[in-house]
Amino acid sequence: MSADDPMQIEYEDFGGKGRYLYRLDAHEAELTFTKAGTGKIIIDHTEVPKVFRGRGVGEALVTHAVADARKKGVKIIPLCPFTASVFRKHPEWQDVLAD
């Protein structure tokens, strides 16, 4: 299975915060976010260990956040520099960007 397989990325909701998580063996990659009211999330951090780098894991985490934002009708504020750079590569995601 690849990192962009939806069965491999987990979603955790801690109330005002949450994260998307990819695990393989003893390694974890994560994208964390904070909820900003009911209609926005702020993606504040993405961490991908060296073992996953170059395999599309970070982008897969962002892709899942975008898909969930569309389903839930929320907008994303990409505060994390990595996430912001991925958004710049995907103009088709502009519909989920917060103003």
pLDDT at 2: 52
Q: How many CB atoms lie within 10 A of CB 74?
A: 18
Residue 3 lies in a domain: no
Q: How does pLDDT run across 11-59, given as a tens digit for each residue? A: 999 999 999 999 988 999 999 999 998 899 999 999 999 999 899 999 9
**Could you tell me the two tokens for 82?**
């990595």
Assign residue 55 the CATH number of its domain. Answer: 3.40.630.30
The answer to whether 61 touches 33, Cβ cutoff 8 Å, is no
The answer to whether 43 touches 32, Cβ cutoff 8 Å, is yes
**Could you tell me the two tokens for 1?**
């299975």
The percentage of the chain sitting over the pLDDT mark of 90, rounded to a whole number, equals 86
**Mean pLDDT (whole number) for 64-81:** 97
pTM of the model: 0.91
pLDDT at 1: 41
Range of the domain at 78: 9-94
Residues contacting residue 57 through CB under 8 Å, at least 6 positions apart: 3, 22, 29, 48
**Could you tell me the two tokens for 11?**
């979603």
Residue 1 lies in a domain: no
